[in-house]
Amino acid sequence: MTNIIHTQETNTTPQVILDSEKGLISFKGKIVTVDCDSLFKPVFNWLNEYIISPCSQTQINIQLDYFNTISTKYLIILFRKIEAQLLNNNNIKVSWYYDVEDEDMIEIAEDFQSVTNIPFELVEID
């Protein structure tokens, strides 16, 4: 298993950090690519390996300025996969970072939380 995957942010994709040693899943930036398969396939492959032997705590950091409609589907798949495979045997924490002036991101986080049983912490940033 690749223990750490770190991709740099581009104009259309976020920085992604997947670290199995720290139990970290992190997305930062924006998702405007229409090719979400290319973005999320390595994430799902990593997650399939991670869930075999996860850390006792998994930290998920989401700090997206923007994401398109198609990426919403992939994020829901990510959260549901995490919920199904890790929630019973793992301490999962989602930190959802949002700009104080972006009420839409708060609503979106609440929507994601409502379709899973994973607790979300809303973290305000300037």
Q: What domains lie within the chain, and their CATH numbers?
A: 4-125 (3.30.750)
- Name which of 76, 74, 25 is nearest 54 in CA terms: 25
- Name which of 36, 50, 38, 63 is nearest 4 in CA terms: 50
pLDDT at 69: 94
pLDDT at 1: 60
pLDDT at 91: 87
Asked if residues 31 and 59 have their Cβ atoms less than 8 Å apart, the reply is: no
Per-residue pLDDT of the chain (126 residues; tens, 9 = 90+): 678 999 999 999 999 999 999 999 999 999 999 999 999 999 999 999 999 999 989 999 999 999 999 999 999 999 999 988 877 777 899 999 999 999 999 999 999 999 888 889 999 997
Q: Count helices and strands (H / E) in the chain.
A: 3, 6
